[in-house]
Amino acid sequence: MTAWIDAGCIFIVFFALAILATYRIVGMIHIFALQSFVLGCVPFFLHAEALSARVIAIAIVTIVFKGILVPYILLWAIRHVSIRSEVKPFIGFGLSIILGSLLIAGAFWVSLSLQLPGKAVSNLVLPCSLSTVLLGFMIMVTRTRAVTQVLGYMIMENGIFLFALLLFDGMPTLIEMGILLDIFVAVFIMAIIINHINEEFERAPVAESRSETGESF
Amino acid sequence: MLIGIFLILIHWLFVFLLAPLFVGLVVKVKAFFAGKKGPSVFQPYFDLVKLSRKQCIYSQTTSWVFRAAPVVALASVFVVSLEIPLGILKAPLQFSGDILLLAYLLALSRFFMIASALDTGLSLEGAGASREAFFSCLSELALFMNFITLACLTQSISLSEMIGVNILIPWNLDPVLLLVVASFFIVLLAENCRIPVDDPDTHLELTMIHEVMILDHSGVDLAYMHYASAVKLFLFSGILVMILIIPFQTGNPVKDMLIFLTGMLGLAVLVGVIESSMARLRLNRVRNLLLIAFALAFFGFVITIWRG
């Protein structure tokens, strides 16, 4: 089972890296959906010997919320706003990939000196969750569009969720559900805001110049 | 001594008889996906025979470099093939650090190819040479990162021990090896000019990398070039398949050989499927693909180091 958890963790980091190298926003959203799906499967492997209703509920809610609903809302936002689908990074893709791999190395190095309480099922979960958080953070700060920043935020949240799985036993279900709902609402609101920003700009005469300098979306 | 020579001959026979078949299989898969019947899988052999019966024509502006390149290309893959264990055939040439020899022999043949392309004085070949030089820099980075990761995993720097039949590292769906396999697959596609990087079929000079560099070669020289690139593809696939089949070793020579050949067949189909389902990447995006390959291998390296 440990090998499956390890593989899941590595896939999550790999998808974060792949998002860093993707040119199209739609492609980013699809990879994010895949990442969330893998993330949703990890609890099954983590608690394979004692599969409780709670584990199944968490896994299914994660897959449905993050793997299906959030990508759907983001895709809907993109379709409605009819924004151009290229990602515009502050730093180039090649540099992003190299910096991303350095961040991963940093996360692994930091995790060497982190000792967590509780049983360690797979020791890859901690460094991989840290790497995912860092990569999500990097996507947030280096990609200029509103949608990509939402995506970066979601990837960061995926990393935090992976981290939370380590402390699964000490965390009440209600809080987990609350967090998931918060995220869902946050993405929903962001999608609506993106939509409205666009409508405002369509009416505003400064739309052209704004998109040159402001990089709102 | 005699047995050693015999083993070398068997190794060469195996590689050089099967290599064109591998290319033929890829072409066949591509034809199947395009809804065509396609040429026979033995077509590359016929092409080689046809080319070797033709006369070589040399431009007056070329020097000996141009004539040396096909020979060097074929000779270097001849030597490289001795270092790679294939199925139950152990590598006849193995010593500590032979991965460096492998990488640099390939680099040597590439250097001569680039030099011969520049020697013709044709601007298109110069463009192809420049691209080849740039992409091979990046793919070499990823290749070495893969080798370093494998060396850390197996605690040895000889290719035969890193991927060989005698070493059974606890695979167990070890995710590090998944990363190495994925990264090495991208390197394979890039080094052998397959589709996301270069199109082996196109004859549009502006987009070609490898094909444009051999535009001026003809006759036996062209046959050498084609043969060398087919063998190179076969050898890279051999390394990849050897990494993949480590957990399926049974100890029975016949079964192991069948597993290896099945693996090669599967890889040929996979390359064909990728070639038919993907478009060539834009040239400035190839760089990112190769950097991704490097990042994957680096990630595997970090995990290996981290586990201690």
- Dihedral of CA atoms B133, B135, B138, B141 in degrees, nearest 10, equals -70
Q: Taking residues B254-266, what's their average pLDDT?
A: 91
Residue of B nearest to A19 (CA): B292
Res. A201 pLDDT band, cuts 50 70 90: low
Is residue A12 a contact partner of residue A39, using CB atoms and an 8 Å limit?
Answer: yes
- Judged by average pLDDT, the poorest of A93-97, A136-140, B93-97 is B93-97
CA distance B44 to B293: 30
* DSSP-derived secondary structure for B229-251: HHHHHHHHHHHHHHHHHGGG--S
Other residues' Cβ atoms within 10 Å of the Cβ of residue B14: 16
Per-residue pLDDT tens digits for A137-196 = 999 889 877 788 888 888 998 998 888 887 766 667 767 777 777 787 788 777 777 777
Is residue B95 a contact partner of residue B29, using CB atoms and an 8 Å limit?
Answer: no
The structure tokens listed for A211 are: 């998109």
CA distance B88 to A56: 46
Which chain A residues are Cβ-neighbours of B294 within 8 angstroms? 97, 101
CB nearest to B302's CB, from A6, A23, A105? A105
What three-state secondary structure class fits A195? helix
Other residues' Cβ atoms within 10 Å of the Cβ of residue B166: 9
Q: Which residue has the tokens 């895949």?
A: A34
Residue of A nearest to B173 (CA): A3
| Helix H or strand E segment including A108 | helix A93-112
CB pairs under 8 A between A and B: 61
CA distance B294 to B144: 9
- Dihedral of CA atoms B186, B188, B192, B197 in degrees, nearest 10, equals 0
Report chain B's mean pLDDT, rounded to a whole number: 88
Test mutation, B141, B146, B173, B292, chain A, max A CBs within 10 A: B292
Per-residue pLDDT tens digits for A17-69 = 999 988 888 999 999 999 999 999 988 888 777 778 888 888 888 899 889 98
Phi, psi for residue B86 in degrees, rounded to 5: -130, 110
Q: Is residue B167 scored above 80 in pLDDT?
A: no
Residue of A nearest to B302 (CA): A105
Task: Write down the pLDDT at residue A206.
Answer: 42
For A209, how many CA atoms within 13 A lie in the half-sphere containing its CB?
Answer: 3
For A49, how many CA atoms within 13 A lie in the half-sphere containing its CB?
Answer: 3
Domain residue spans in chain A?
2-112+120-207
- Is A98 within 8 Å of B295 when comparing Cβ atoms? yes
Q: Which residue has the tokens 């961040």?
A: A103
CA distance B242 to A129: 32
Which chain A residues are Cβ-neighbours of B306 within 8 angstroms? 108-109, 111-112, 127
The structure tokens listed for B63 are: 């020097």
Of the candidates B280, B289, B181, B282, the residue with the CA atom closest to the CA atom of residue B236: B181
Q: Is residue B292 scored above 90 in pLDDT?
A: yes
Q: How far is CA B135 from the centre of its chain?
A: 14
CA distance A216 to B227: 54
- Judged by average pLDDT, the poorest of A160-164, B24-28, B236-240 is A160-164
Q: Is residue B63 scored above 80 in pLDDT?
A: yes
Amino acid identity, residue B167? I
- Is B288 within 8 Å of A21 when comparing Cβ atoms? yes
CA distance B291 to B94: 30
Q: Which residue has the tokens 């350095």?
A: A102
The structure tokens listed for B268 are: 């040929």
CB nearest to A3's CB, from B174, B299, B303? B174
Q: Is residue A208 scored above 70 in pLDDT?
A: no
Which chain B residues are Cβ-neighbours of A93 within 8 angstroms? 288, 291
From the CA atom positions of chain B, what is the Rg in Å? 19
What share of chain B in percent tops pLDDT 70?
A: 95
Task: Write down the pLDDT at residue A169.
Answer: 66
- Is A14 within 8 Å of B298 when comparing Cβ atoms? no
Of the candidates B125, B271, B293, the residue with the CA atom closest to the CA atom of residue B209: B125
Complex ipTM: 0.86
CA distance A93 to A101: 12
Which chain A residues are Cβ-neighbours of B293 within 8 angstroms? none
CA angle B90, B92, B95 (to 5 degrees): 100
Is residue B39 a contact partner of residue B31, using CB atoms and an 8 Å limit?
Answer: yes
Residues of A with CB under 8 A from a CB of B: 3-4, 6-7, 9-10, 13-14, 17-18, 21, 23, 93-94, 97-98, 100-101, 104-105, 108-109, 111-112, 124, 127
Q: Which residue has the tokens 């460094």?
A: A127
Test mutation, A19, A23, A45, A97, chain B, max B CBs within 10 A: A97
Res. B221 pLDDT band, cuts 50 70 90: very high
- Is B299 within 8 Å of A124 when comparing Cβ atoms? no
CA distance B300 to B181: 10
- Is B295 within 8 Å of A124 when comparing Cβ atoms? no
Res. A205 pLDDT band, cuts 50 70 90: very low
Q: Taking residues B26-42, what's their average pLDDT?
A: 92
Q: Is residue B294 scored above 60 in pLDDT?
A: yes
Which chain B residues are Cβ-neighbours of A14 within 8 angstroms? 179, 296, 299
Instruction: Compute the nearest-CA separation of B99 from chain A (Å).
Output: 24
Amino acid identity, residue B39? P
| Helix H or strand E segment including B112 | helix B98-119
- Is A17 within 8 Å of B173 when comparing Cβ atoms? no
* DSSP-derived secondary structure for B48-95: HHHHHTSPP---TT--HHHHHHHHHHHHHHHHHHHTS-BTTB--SS--
Going by C-beta distance under 8 Å and a sequence separation of 6 or more, which residues neighbour residue B46?
B40
- Is A10 within 8 Å of B302 when comparing Cβ atoms? no
Per-residue pLDDT tens digits for B190-207 = 999 888 888 877 766 666
Task: Write down the pLDDT at residue A203.
Answer: 53
Of the candidates A166, A162, A169, A164, the residue with the CA atom closest to the CA atom of residue A9: A162
Chain A contact for B173 (CB, 8 A cutoff): yes
Q: Which residue has the tokens 């030099």?
A: B115
Q: Which residue has the tokens 């983001």?
A: A74
Q: How many helices, marked H, and strands, marked E, lie in chain B?
A: 11, 0
Amino acid identity, residue A170? G
